[in-house]
Amino acid sequence: QKDDSQRLLESSNADEKEHTIMKSKAEPDTSKEEMVLEESESPLNSNITAFALKAKVIYPINQKFRPLADGSSNPSLHENPKQGVLPNQVVETSMSGSLGSLSQGDKEDCSSSTTIHSATSDDRFQARAFLKVTSFPEVLTCESFDVKLCLCSLTLKDLMLLDTELRKEKHVMFIQVFKIYLTDFHRKKKITDDLLKKILLNQENDFEELQKQLDSRLQNTEISGAHNSEYQTLEDLERKEREYSEHVIDNLEAFWKQTDKAQQAFLDQSKCSSAKATKIMVDLTEKMIAVESLLSESQDMQAMDIQERLFSWELMVKTIDSLKSSIPEECKGRLNIVSNILDHLTVKNNLSVRQKEELLTDLHKAFWEQLGHYSNECMQQSKDLILKRLECRAKKKEEFKRRQETEQESLLSKTFLTEDVQNFLKAYHELIEKHWQAQWDLEEEDDFESTEAVAELYKELYSKASHALAQLVMELFLRTLPVVTGLSVRECELLKEEWQENLVPQLEKWENHRQRRWKLFQEQLLQEKELWITEYALSAVMQKHLSEKQEKIIQGVISRLGCLSDESVSYILQKHQLLLCSVLRRLTFRRVGMAALACMRLSRKKSSLQELREQHTLQKGSSLCQDEDQWQLQKAVESHIREEEEKLEEETQETNLEFHQQLVTEIQEALQFLQQHMEQVIGQTLLQHARGEAEKKSSDDGQDLKERLVESAVESVYGTSNNINRLVQSYYQQLGKITEGYEGKKLQDLKSLQAERNERIRLKNKENELALKEKPTKCLLNVSSTVHQSRIVLQQKKILAQFELQQQIRLESLKQKLLALHRLETELENQLREAEQDFMSELAVLTRVPLTVKKKPSKRSKPAGEKTNSKRQTFQSPKSAEKDSHENIQESHGMTSGLCREMSQSSREGETEPRKSSKMLKKKGSR
């Protein structure tokens, strides 16, 4: 796969061949050679060519000072040659390659630097394949173009590995905490040993199945884009990251559903009371919140460590890259000095132009062939060295893994009580962090040692290249020149000494340039660190905003329920906090991954722009005295750099916006899962609350008293039809007065609450209007050009403020209404209960039946539906009493049983038992 830079390099080599053939026929005079070079260029666009010729020092497209051996008389010392950046391209064995190697880097640098990117290359950038690496040492042998992409892909790989380890840790912690509570129940003989083993086995199997499903999905994601196992594209990487996030969110949802299912199954089989079950679930939720807190803190720290390691990798790669680039750069400089000396001999007519070019051609060919051989040898040694070190690293990691698994199993095999759960969580988390740090230190040490080893190989290559060039130059001056020029050996020795003397200041200059480049690189790295710090700050702000918003929503939901106990409310809030922490932790991972993907997408343009700045800074520092043309040239270059910076900033904003929109979509999907899960939790809590209330109702012993009174009244002969009818009529009249009083008070309270609400809305609206009138006045005075926009924003704020205000007032009114109705219903229930107990006492006196239990206040309030039943009985029972007023005493016993049945219905004790009592009374009355 040949990328743009490779095709550009090949075209540059072809152009270089044509140039060499054409300009080899030029006259020896230097000024004429320059004229021939200028005339030989036939530009398609005169303006572009003029700018390129002016920019020859910074962008050496055409070195017109040398017709053949490029750069020999006035070379550019500031280019960033491709030979040093791409080790594989240092190998130049052909004649055109050895000669063109001195200029092709310049041409390529210019063509890629003058215009940073084209539309075509932009479209193809994401589809460009780069090497798929699994560890940092492999990057040391990558092409320069791929380095940033490879390093960021390793960062994404580390983030994914960290996510996997934290998820595994969470699963283990939940199972162990769950096991501790199960063991506690087993110790208290509340569950059997078989049930304990069954629940734990089912839970472990369910988690293993979840992990298998996730692994299968991730494997399918990996296979779907694997066109080449050795290479990958940025487009594929973005797709994999997106699908990975979706699969992990699905796995997260399945995990929490599974934990809820396991807890409910355990509580159902252990036959706990509702209060006990709620307490256990609250305790388990508290412990898992502590787990999420530990994992979140660990995630933040380790994610920052991963980012710091990326910067450390870039420093090590830059060290190797500097060594690579210094070899051809300095060798070209040394050859340039030789070319200058031969130029001087040509001017003195000691050497013809043809002879000079032949000597330079032979020298270049011999040197670049040797350098190519040494480079290939160095590259192969580097690959073999890295392969060997990676094998050793794999063995060490395997030993680490076995030792760590043994330590984890030893800790998990210990027995912990419920009061020791927190200590267990802390101990296990510290052990996992210790293992992570040990593996981290192992990899960092190996990365550093691999970099040092590769650096030694390139230092050795530099020494070999310098020695080979020195031998060739010595042979040229001491053997070839005396024969060709007729100069004496002594004169040629002086020429060699001149070459060595001229080399000293050049070496100093190259060293200064290297130091400047290193300083510029460190400044660039510092800027990237600041960008990442800003990214982490934005991530923290996002978490805080989402957390506050979701907490406000759940508080609003709970405030509207109003019927739950404090324990149930606490459980719902804790469950919501647990799920929210888990979701936010996953979204934080995703945001960091998106930042790395955005960095990869912009890496090429940032690198090109950095080369522009570097070349301009070096040229500006090396040219102390500038004429008008050079000054104008620098101004043009600075203007060009500013334009490219603006383009890069615009594209950066577009890229960030694209990823931000994608993140917002994923946040909405994750919060949708959170909402659905919380709906199930709240529904389950309401169901448990209803069951608890039903248990309390069923525990009431009032029904026994009523049944005993019915049996005694049936057997009594003192109750007559008339006195029982009078007693019933009096009771119903009292019930009517009570219900009428309740309805009146309720209507009065509701009217009062509505009036207060309206007054509150009026006052709040007036305050908001006054506050919003002051703000636009200040805005319009300060920014007159954005009046319409300010009005629109003001109107939006006004509408939102009114909406929030009405919602708040409405909620407060509903709360007050609920409290007022609850108070009235409590009074109604007490009055009805007192009336019922008075009626029972009068009936007992009338029928001369002693009551064994005195009147006692009720321990609870009745539901609102009960009062409706009691009121309906008020209108139905008198008809029944009038209809049976002419009946005998036995029929009055039946009416007594009917009345008792009505009392039973008013207490919501069911319909079956009163009907049985009625049948019993009628049966006894017929005897």
Alpha helices in 271-414 (DSSP H): 274-347, 353-412
pTM score over 0.75: no
Cβ-proximal residues to 151 (8 Å cutoff; 6+ apart), any chain: 136, 139, 310, 313, 314, 317
pLDDT in tens, 55-89: 433 333 333 333 334 333 333 333 333 333 333 33
Q: Say what the pLDDT of residue 621 is.
A: 67
pLDDT higher than 80, residue 876: no
**In angstroms, rounded to a whole number, what is the distance separating the alpha carbons of residues 578 and 711?**
57
pLDDT higher than 60, residue 281: yes
Q: Residue 17: enclosing H or E segment and its boundaries?
A: helix 4-23
**In angstroms, rounded to a whole number, what is the distance separating the alpha carbons of residues 470 and 490?**
18
Q: Say what the pLDDT of residue 55 is.
A: 43
Cβ-proximal residues to 466 (8 Å cutoff; 6+ apart), any chain: 330, 331
Band of the pLDDT at 848, cuts 50, 70, 90? confident
pLDDT in tens, 42-52: 333 444 444 44
**In angstroms, rounded to a whole number, what is the distance separating the alpha carbons of residues 25 and 19?**
11
Band of the pLDDT at 927, cuts 50, 70, 90? very low
Return the number of other C-beta atoms located less than 10 Å from residue 151's C-beta. 23
Give strand pairing partners of 130: 232
> Distances in Å between the alpha carbon of 756 and those of 743, 750, 763, 768, 822?
20, 10, 11, 18, 19
**In angstroms, rounded to a whole number, what is the distance separating the alpha carbons of residues 326 and 90?**
12
pLDDT in tens, 538-572: 889 988 999 999 998 998 888 877 677 788 888 89
**In angstroms, rounded to a whole number, what is the distance separating the alpha carbons of residues 334 and 477?**
14
Q: Say what the pLDDT of residue 878 is.
A: 35
Q: Say what the pLDDT of residue 226 is.
A: 56
Band of the pLDDT at 771, cuts 50, 70, 90? low
Helix axes 912-925, 702-715, angle to 10 degrees: 10
Cβ-proximal residues to 395 (8 Å cutoff; 6+ apart), any chain: none
For residues 697 and 223, the model is more confident at 223
pLDDT in tens, 303-330: 999 999 999 999 999 999 988 888 888 8
Q: Say what the pLDDT of residue 623 is.
A: 61
- The token duo for 543 is 């978490």
Mean pLDDT, rounded, for 374-402: 92
Q: Say what the pLDDT of residue 584 is.
A: 93
Cβ-proximal residues to 18 (8 Å cutoff; 6+ apart), any chain: none
DSSP string of 103-138, one letter each residue: HHHHHHHHHHHSS---HHHHHHHTT-EEE--SSGGG
Q: Say what the pLDDT of residue 486 is.
A: 80
SS3 state of residue 42: coil
880: amino acid identity, one letter: S
Q: Which of 24-28, 293-297, 808-812 has the highest mean pLDDT?
A: 293-297
Band of the pLDDT at 191, cuts 50, 70, 90? confident
pLDDT higher than 60, residue 843: yes
Handedness of CA 432, 433, 434, 439 (dihedral sign): positive
**In angstroms, rounded to a whole number, what is the distance separating the alpha carbons of residues 479 and 492?**
9
Among 58, 848, 44, 78, which Cα is nearest to 510's? Answer: 78
Q: Say what the pLDDT of residue 228 is.
A: 60
Return the number of other C-beta atoms located less than 10 Å from residue 382's C-beta. 21
CA 319 distance to own-chain centroid? 31
**In angstroms, rounded to a whole number, what is the distance separating the alpha carbons of residues 182 and 187?**
9
- The token duo for 468 is 């080979």
20: amino acid identity, one letter: T
Specify whether the CB–CB gap between 501 and 341 falls below 8 A: no
Q: Which of 454-468, 476-490, 712-726, 888-902 has the highest mean pLDDT?
A: 454-468
Q: Residue 56: enclosing H or E segment and its boundaries?
A: none
- Torsional class of 828: left (φ above 0), alpha (ψ -120 to 50), beta (otherwise): alpha
Classify residue 907 by its DSSP letter: T
Mean pLDDT, rounded, for 578-594: 93
Q: Say what the pLDDT of residue 81 is.
A: 37
pLDDT higher than 50, residue 214: yes
Among 534-548, 572-586, 706-720, 827-841, which stretch is predicted with the lowest mean pLDDT?
706-720
Could you give the percent of the chain with pLDDT greater than 70? 73
Band of the pLDDT at 885, cuts 50, 70, 90? very low
Among 316, 322, 310, 328, which Cα is nearest to 515's? Answer: 322
pLDDT in tens, 791-821: 788 778 778 877 777 777 777 787 788 788 8
Handedness of CA 329, 334, 337, 339 (dihedral sign): negative
pLDDT higher than 90, residue 160: yes
- The token duo for 33 is 């050679």
pLDDT higher than 80, residue 894: no
What b/e readout covers 612-636, taking b as 16+ CB neighbours within 10 angstroms?
A: bbbbbebbbeeeeeeeeebeebbee
pLDDT higher than 80, residue 422: yes
Cβ-proximal residues to 600 (8 Å cutoff; 6+ apart), any chain: 148, 149, 152, 153, 234, 237
760: amino acid identity, one letter: R
How close are the terminal C-alpha atoms of the chain, in Å? Answer: 109
pLDDT higher than 70, residue 121: no
Q: Say what the pLDDT of residue 577 is.
A: 93
DSSP string of 506-535, one letter each residue: HHHHHHHHHHHHHHHHHHHHHHHHHHHHHH
Q: Which of 40-44, 526-530, 833-837 has the highest mean pLDDT?
A: 526-530
Return the number of other C-beta atoms located less than 10 Å from residue 857's C-beta. 8
Handedness of CA 915, 917, 922, 927 (dihedral sign): positive
Length of the chain: 927
Handedness of CA 516, 517, 522, 523 (dihedral sign): positive
Q: Report the mean per-residue pLDDT for the chain.
A: 75
Among 140, 165, 139, 163, which Cα is nearest to 152's? Answer: 139
**In angstroms, rounded to a whole number, what is the distance separating the alpha carbons of residues 299 and 309?**
15
Tokens 């600041």 belong to: 530
Our CA dihedral for 587, 588, 593, 599, rounded to 10 degrees, sits at 120
Among 584, 528, 573, which Cα is nearest to 551's? Answer: 573
For residues 634 and 736, the model is more confident at 736
SS3 content of the chain, % helix, strand, coil (to 5): 85, 0, 15
Mean pLDDT, rounded, for 686-696: 75
**In angstroms, rounded to a whole number, what is the distance separating the alpha carbons of residues 293 and 94?**
64
> Distances in Å between the alpha carbon of 92 and those of 15, 69, 100, 370?
16, 15, 9, 9
> Distances in Å between the alpha carbon of 145 and those of 3, 113, 606, 626, 740?
10, 14, 12, 34, 88
Report the largest interatomic distance among the alpha carbons of the chain, rounded to a whole angstrom. 159
SS3 state of residue 595: helix
Handedness of CA 14, 17, 22, 27 (dihedral sign): positive
Band of the pLDDT at 232, cuts 50, 70, 90? confident
pLDDT higher than 50, residue 13: no
Among 99-113, 407-421, 498-512, 845-859, which stretch is predicted with the lowest mean pLDDT?
99-113
